[in-house]
Structure 1
Amino acid sequence: MKTLKAIILAGGRGKRLKPVTDYVPKPLVPIKNIPIIEWQIRYLKKFGINEVIICTGYKTEMIENHLNMKDIGIKIKFSIEKSPLGTGGAIKKAGNMIKEKSFFVLNGDTITNIDLKKLEKKKNAIAAIELRTKYGILETDDDKILNFREKKEISDTWMNAGIYHLEKTVLKELPDKGDIEKTVFPKYAKKGTLNTVKFKNAKWYSVDSFKDMEECALEIEKIIK
């Protein structure tokens, strides 16, 4: 792989995980006794990433102190936001530390096994997974219920998995404050210069609630070995 740098967007307050996140920043919330951020670093290391820039804002010192005490085996830098910059502003600020032509971006609550080597093959690309529903699906024939299916992927309807492979040239178009998903991505999509790589049957969790944590804990050792 040529792309060896990654940005983790980890500045959020994790309000849905209160009261835990009143005391601990979301990246340090443990799954199977290992903080989310460590699982993410393990995942990135697996694909040969040698430097991670962590965008932080809330309880930065706790994250720094925790990682400084660990032998992570990867270079870690911090891009600290004094006030929330949004995903676009955070990427722009952190991206100034990157000299290479491209880099990966990972949302700070994403646990996955998506293959970064495949994503790297396309410029300015979003990893996509099939849309998941949290609700039970009824299989019907007219007004008769034939079957119940729990939490099923909806085939051929794709969602943003929160993992990007971006060219460094994107940085100059990003806002100082604002989200990449509302600014640059729609603009690139209109121009036909935004790509996607679709991952069918990928393991993917966005750890946004206690239920997400429980479900992810059951699978995480299979996802990130």
Structure 2
Amino acid sequence: MLKAIILAGGRGKRLRPITDYIPKPLVPIKNIPIIEWQIKYLKKFGIDEIIICTGYKQDIIEHYLNIKNIGIKIKFSVEKSPLGTGGAIKKAAKLINEKSFFVINGDTITNIDLKELAKKQNSLASIELRTNFGILETNNDKITKFREKKEIVGVWMNAGIYHLDKEILRDLPDKGDIEKTVFPNYAKKGKLSTVKFKNVRWYSIDSFKDMEECALEIEKIIK
């Protein structure tokens, strides 16, 4: 059994005014909060305990999950002030005894296979980069075809899901983002891997448009 950390401490400013009243993890997709969809996703892969990193309106998140019958052990790692993703992971992972654990960003909805990610230590899931804009195909400055937004083949982006060895904690900052501190350093030293996922569903809920698009697919993503 593996543990997972959900990074759920952000303010979700792009989803205001909703997030003036409720924290981003409780923003509903098809009437179910983002964090509840994430818990369902993690349970599918045998996660038996989740540590939720909270900060902004953390009492509302705790109250909601405490009254729900989630069916999984949940602990909370509360940040009195923002620690960044690296600091949040470092603090939360003190509650984990296993040699490795998963981390997922608190606004990520996906069907990425965690069993595949678990095969590599200190690895991040990557998906092909997607453009949010229409694509033009041209020939000698003449437009030949319009395409809607699509994946850009061969260019990979961080999907916001990690499988980390607990030894990484000694290198994490007390405050700061893992993506800007440890990951670049590990990459230079050849200590960071990726597992590439093609043809997966993946949403980062950063806008009302993201909410709308994810709502159309959510029941296919997390069954």
Asked if Structure 1 and Structure 2 have the same fold, meaning a TM-score greater than 0.5 normalized by the shorter chain, the answer is yes
TM-score w.r.t. length of structure 1: 0.98
Secondary structure of 1:182's aligned partner: coil
Supply the AA of the counterpart residue of 2:206.
D
1:97 to 83, 95, 98: 95
How far has the Cα of 1:159 moved from its partner?
A: 0.3
Where does structure 2 lack aligned partners over 5 or more consecutive residues?
A: none
Does structure 1 residue 36 correspond to structure 2 residue 34? Answer: yes
Report the RMSD for the aligned CA atoms in angstroms.
Answer: 0.6
Q: Which residue of 1 aligns with 2:168?
A: 170
Secondary structure of 1:163's aligned partner: strand
How far has the Cα of 1:205 moved from its partner?
A: 0.2
Tell me which stretches of 4 or more aligned residues in structure 1 moved more than 3 Å.
Answer: none
Secondary structure of 1:52's aligned partner: strand
How far has the Cα of 1:175 moved from its partner?
A: 0.4
Does structure 1 residue 216 correspond to structure 2 residue 206? Answer: no
How far has the Cα of 1:148 moved from its partner?
A: 1.1
How far has the Cα of 1:96 moved from its partner?
A: 0.3
1:92-142 CA-to-partner distances (Å, cap 9, x unmatched) read 000000000000000000000000000000010010000010000011111
Supply the AA of the counterpart residue of 1:215.
E
Q: Which residue of 2 aligns with 1:79?
A: 77
Distance in 2 (alpha carbons) for counterparts of 1:184 and 1:126: 13
Q: Which residue of 1 aligns with 2:23?
A: 25
How far has the Cα of 1:211 moved from its partner?
A: 0.4
Distance in 2 (alpha carbons) for counterparts of 1:39 and 1:141: 45
How far has the Cα of 1:147 moved from its partner?
A: 1.3
Where does structure 1 lack aligned partners over 5 or more consecutive residues?
A: none
1:199 to 182, 197, 200: 197
Secondary structure of 2:95's aligned partner: coil
Secondary structure of 1:211's aligned partner: helix
Secondary structure of 1:122's aligned partner: coil
Supply the AA of the counterpart residue of 2:129.
L
TM-score w.r.t. length of structure 2: 0.99
How far has the Cα of 1:23 moved from its partner?
A: 0.1
**How many pairs were matched up?**
223
Supply the AA of the counterpart residue of 2:115.
K
1:68-90 CA-to-partner distances (Å, cap 9, x unmatched) read 11110100000000000000000
Q: Which residue of 1 aligns with 2:121?
A: 123
2:86 to 79, 85, 88: 88
